[in-house]
Structure 1
Amino acid sequence: MNIWHLFSNLLTLHSGSKNIAKDLFKMRNAVHSSGSVLGKLHGDHACRKKPFTVFVEGNIGCGKTTFLSYFNQSEAQVIAEPIELWRNVNGHNLLGTLYEDPKRWGFLFQSYVQLTMLDMHLTQTQRSLKLMERSVHSARHCFVENLHRSKIITDAEMSVLDHWYKWIKTHADVEGDLIVYLQTKPEVVYERMRARNRKEENCVPLSYLQQLHELHEEWLIQGSRISKPTQVIVVDANRDLDHMKGEFIRVKTLIVNELSHQVHSVSV
């Protein structure tokens, strides 16, 4: 049984059953009986040199995609947030149903997000630089945390998602070398979100973006709830995206220089 099957089973069990404790017992047995999963995760990472990994984090509409567009394929492996996967799970638009009825679909959606994010982390590359649009860490510390604080998901659902997150951290190499935080005021990203007119986001209120902003600040700036992760570069991304070109190029140069320094240190 591979990691995709484990998560798929969890989604199926939750959507079709009211007995969460029984479902967790089934999933626990599946994990313990599947030594090949752990072996694959450790083996894949042991047999290859890990690239310098950068997580690009920030609120909805902060400019992550624009920033990543400044890196070409010869420079880095760029992995975009898998929005299209969330829009089409065997014909089901989980992103759309999340915004329509978050209390019904919040747990299911975040379960699938963890799966797709894990797949991003485990994506292999021959390039020395890997950039990811968000990570399993922001999924847990910002989006899942917000659902729980807002009482959209229950304590039991939060426990399941948190246990999966801790299992992932224990058994897979999902740590990064650098985080680029595109810090943006909620009012600014709200206007950008309305301008891009993504149909699933039409019903998203400003208050939701304010909550996500506060959680990003807690995680990446204050370190008040959890310890700060790896080194964080904070970028003021409030200006018009057309005027952010110079700042994005500056940060790109910092990343490339840091990578070059590490490569040089290893060779010496």
Structure 2
Amino acid sequence: MSVTKNGPRPFTVIVEGNIGSGKTTFLNHFNQYEDVCVLAEPIEMWRNCQGHNLLGLMYQDIKKWSFTFQSYVQLTMLQHHTKQTSCPVKLMERSIYSARYCFVEKMKQDGLLPEASAAVIEKHFDWIQDYANVDVDLVVYLRTTPEVVYDRMMERNRQEEKAVSLDYLKALHQIHEDWLYHKTLFKVPAPVIVLDADLDKSLIREEYLKCEPHILVSTKA
């Protein structure tokens, strides 16, 4: 367990990367360990907010629904950050940090999120950092190339992602690179491990094994 200004919490790892970078596969690998609390991205919550598919609405009309969707994403990711668990390790798919630093930032760059709406999200984000227990101990960056993740996205064929273009993935990739690899865009919340996530599923397990000593260290106590 780690101790922060808000008290004790599990050793917290966030798994970051582009759409289709293999985050779910990575989490599934660590789901075999009973001492690891694995929290997948809450997509089903985004698809059903009191009967409304906010994920689908956002992809249908991103300019109209960007604020509504990102506000709810921030809430659901905050719920994951603050979720109580008896496990010594918490492994999260994405975080409030990538929600703000990657996806909200992309919407701002594209002019899809009005300045006033962005200001509300940022004020909420700042408050969360000051008053909620959202510290993390490690970032795993699943580094990919946009062409690879585009092919994977087409193969898995999620209805909401049909409108996502290769150009969008390229731009999102660059934001991830500047944030987590070059570390020139935003503050990185924890040390970063970079994995080659372009590898095929038959080979990627070796990359996952590299992470185990860093992620499972708190389970050995």
**TM-score (normalizing by structure 2):** 0.94
Q: Is the 8 A contact 1:77 1:125 kept in 2?
A: yes
- The RMSD of aligned alpha carbons is 1.6
1:61 to 14, 17, 20: 20
Q: Is the 8 A contact 2:35 2:219 kept in 1?
A: no
Supply the distance in 2 between the matched residues of 1:165 and 1:80 (Cα, whole angstroms). 21
Deviation at 1:251, TM superposition (A): 1.4
1:220 to 180, 183, 186: 180
Higher-Rg member (1/2) = 1
Deviation at 1:250, TM superposition (A): 2.4
Look up the match of 2:171.
211
Supply the distance in 2 between the matched residues of 1:181 and 1:198 (Cα, whole angstroms). 23
The residue correspondences of 1:42-121 to structure 2 (distance < 5 A) are: 45-46=6-7, 49-71=8-30, 72-121=32-81
For structure 2, the residue ranges without an aligned partner over 5 or more in a row are: none
SS of the residue corresponding to residue 70 of structure 1 reads helix
Pair 1:149 & 2:112 matched? no
SS of the residue corresponding to residue 170 of structure 2 reads helix
Deviation at 1:208, TM superposition (A): 1.0
Question: Number of aligned pairs?
Answer: 217
Q: Is the 8 A contact 1:221 1:228 kept in 2?
A: no
Look up the match of 1:183.
143
CA displacement, residues 45-72 of structure 1 (integer Å, 9 cap, x when unaligned): 53xx311100000001100110111122
Deviation at 1:73, TM superposition (A): 5.0
Supply the distance in 1 between the matched residues of 2:214 and 2:79 (Cα, whole angstroms). 27
Deviates more, 1:242-251 or 1:161-170: 242-251
Larger relative contact order (CA 8 Å, sep ≥ 6): 2
Q: Is the 8 A contact 2:139 2:190 kept in 1?
A: yes
**TM-score (normalizing by structure 1):** 0.78
Q: Alignment identity in percent?
A: 49
CA displacement, residues 93-125 of structure 1 (integer Å, 9 cap, x when unaligned): 110111110000011100000000000001011
Q: Is the 8 A contact 2:89 2:219 kept in 1?
A: no
SS of the residue corresponding to residue 90 of structure 2 reads strand
Look up the match of 2:204.
244
Deviates more, 1:238-247 or 1:51-60: 238-247
Supply the distance in 2 between the matched residues of 1:73 and 1:240 (Cα, whole angstroms). 23
CA displacement, residues 118-177 of structure 1 (integer Å, 9 cap, x when unaligned): 000010111111100000000000000000000001111111111010010011011100
What one-letter code is carried by the residue in structure 2 that aligns with 1:220? Answer: L
Structure with greater helix share of residues: 1
Deviation at 1:249, TM superposition (A): 2.2
What one-letter code is carried by the residue in structure 1 that aligns with 2:19? Answer: I
CA displacement, residues 166-190 of structure 1 (integer Å, 9 cap, x when unaligned): 0100110111000000000011100
Q: Is the 8 A contact 1:65 1:133 kept in 2?
A: yes
1:161 to 98, 107, 121: 121
Pair 1:254 & 2:214 matched? yes
Deviation at 1:260, TM superposition (A): 5.5
Structure 1 segments, 4+ long, off by >4 Å, are: none
Structure with greater strand share of residues: 2
